[in-house]
Amino acid sequence: MEFVVEPWHWFVLGILLILSELILTAFAALWFGVAAIMVCILLWLFPMMGFTTQVVTWGILSILCTILWFKFIKPLSIDKTKAGLARESTIGQVGMVIKTGLDHGQIVVRFPMPLLGSDEWNCRSTAPVQVGDRVRVIDILGNDLVVQPHSNS
């Protein structure tokens, strides 16, 4: 008696691989499981597929799913803020003055990426600046950033 692979076999394999991701930390079995479910759907649509074709299709789909994950989807999930990073990652960041003339000679600077969880900071400048000037962070003093005018050189 010959064993025939049915679509539900691929579905069960796919679910088992996806569930194995709860135990494994590599985040790779998920894409093999997704590919197995895709083969299940293809086998259901085209029941004449041979076993070799199914396995080759599963391998190709697994590779494609993994490549697509690392190439397109994973970069979208990278945190682009500087929140929680060390002091050294804040030093050297460049922002633009958006408000001057606050109490105690402070200014407000907006940074292109959030620094330590916020994109606008009260700052103290080492030299006079105007709204629109670019400044560079040189130190952190309490809750304020210390900045100096940024030269383009």
From first to last of its 153 residues, the chain has per-residue pLDDT tens of 688 899 999 999 999 999 998 888 777 788 999 999 999 999 999 999 999 999 999 999 999 998 998 888 777 776 555 555 566 677 888 999 999 888 877 899 998 888 777 888 889 888 889 999 999 999 888 888 899 998 765
What residues contact residue 87 under an 8 Å CB cut-off, 6+ apart? 140
Question: Which amino acid would we find at residue 145?
Answer: L
What is the DSSP code (8-state) at residue 114? E
The angle formed by the CA atoms of residues 122, 151 and 135, to the nearest 5 degrees, is: 5
Task: Give the span between the Cα atoms of 29 and 50, in whole angstroms.
Answer: 24
Q: 72 with 88: CB under 8 angstroms?
A: no
pTM of the model: 0.52
The angle formed by the CA atoms of residues 106, 107 and 110, to the nearest 5 degrees, is: 145
Task: Give the span between the Cα atoms of 46 and 41, in whole angstroms.
Answer: 9
Q: Supply 44's token pair.
A: 């259901």
Q: What sections of the chain are H helices per DSSP?
A: 7-20, 29-45, 51-68, 87-90
Task: Give the span between the Cα atoms of 112 and 97, in whole angstroms.
Answer: 12
